[in-house]
Amino acid sequence: ELLGHSIAGMLAKGDLRLENDEFNRRWFVDADDEDFAALLLSPEMQTWLVGVPKWVTFHIGRGQIVCAAKKALKPDALADLVALCEEFAGLIVPELQAWIPRA
């Protein structure tokens, strides 16, 4: 991801930078609504995401949370992926339940 960050920076592709440097090195955040992303990616969420296995990725948009594996999963690893998705959802701040996107 570091190479991806460098290329994105040169091309002025948006990568939302947050207060946790380790999070910023690990995750690329592309957001249509940076206010939403900043609220979703609370300091607690950033800390948790730093510890997530590198084979996991998350995509949020259009009312969906997608927790996916970046590799083929063995059947016994599916429970781990589901648990990570549940943990992620549990860390979302309640304020986002009432979020109204800007038109």
The size of the chain, in residues, is 103
The whole-number pLDDT of residue 29 equals: 86
The low-confidence residues of the chain, meaning pLDDT below 70, are: 1-14, 103
The whole-number pLDDT of residue 79 equals: 92
Q: What is the pTM of this model?
A: 0.77
The whole-number pLDDT of residue 32 equals: 81
CA angle 76, 92, 90 (to 5 degrees): 40
The whole-number pLDDT of residue 60 equals: 83
CB–CB of 55/70 below 8 Å?
A: yes
The whole-number pLDDT of residue 91 equals: 93
